[in-house]
Amino acid sequence: MNSLTARTGRHLAGRRLALAVGVLAALLISPPVLAADATAKQPSAANKSASKSPARSIKPRRRVRPAAGQSSARPVPVPEASDAATARAYRKDAARHLYSLNLGSIYQGRMPPLLYAIGVLQVHVDGQGRVGTISWMRAPSHAPEVMRQIERLVRAAEPFPPPARVGGLIYTDTWLWHKSGKWQLDTLTEGQD
Please, which pLDDT band fits residue 38 given cuts at 50, 70 and 90? Answer: very low
Confidence check: pLDDT of 18 > 80: no
Looking at residue 72, what DSSP letter applies? -
Q: How far is CA 1 from CA 5, 10, 156, in A?
A: 6, 12, 50
Domain limits of the chain? 3-40+77-188
Confidence check: pLDDT of 97 > 80: yes
Q: Determine the residue type at 120.
A: V
Work out the percent of the chain whose per-residue pLDDT is above 70: 60
Fold exhibited by the domain 3-40+77-188: 3.30.1150
Alpha carbon distance 97, 101 (integer Å): 7
pLDDT tens-digit readout, 137-157: 999 999 999 999 999 999 999
pLDDT of 78? 72
Mean per-residue pLDDT over the chain, rounded: 76
Nearest to 112 by CA among 189, 20, 178, 29: 178
pLDDT of 61? 54
pLDDT tens-digit readout, 53-88: 344 455 555 554 444 444 444 455 678 889 899 999
Confidence check: pLDDT of 104 > 50: yes
Confidence check: pLDDT of 159 > 80: yes
Q: How far is CA 174 from CA 72, 77, 95, in A?
A: 34, 26, 10
pLDDT of 10? 54
Report the sign of the C-alpha dihedral through residues 36, 153, 178, 188, in that order. Answer: negative
Mean pLDDT calculated for residue range 91-107: 95
Give residue 167's region: left, alpha or beta (phi > 0; psi -120 to 50). left
Nearest to 86 by CA among 157, 181, 168: 168
pLDDT tens-digit readout, 112-138: 999 999 999 999 999 999 999 999 999
Q: State the Rg of the chain over Cα.
A: 20
Are 139 and 151 contacting, i.e. CB atoms less than 8 angstroms apart?
A: no
Mean pLDDT calculated for residue range 84-104: 94
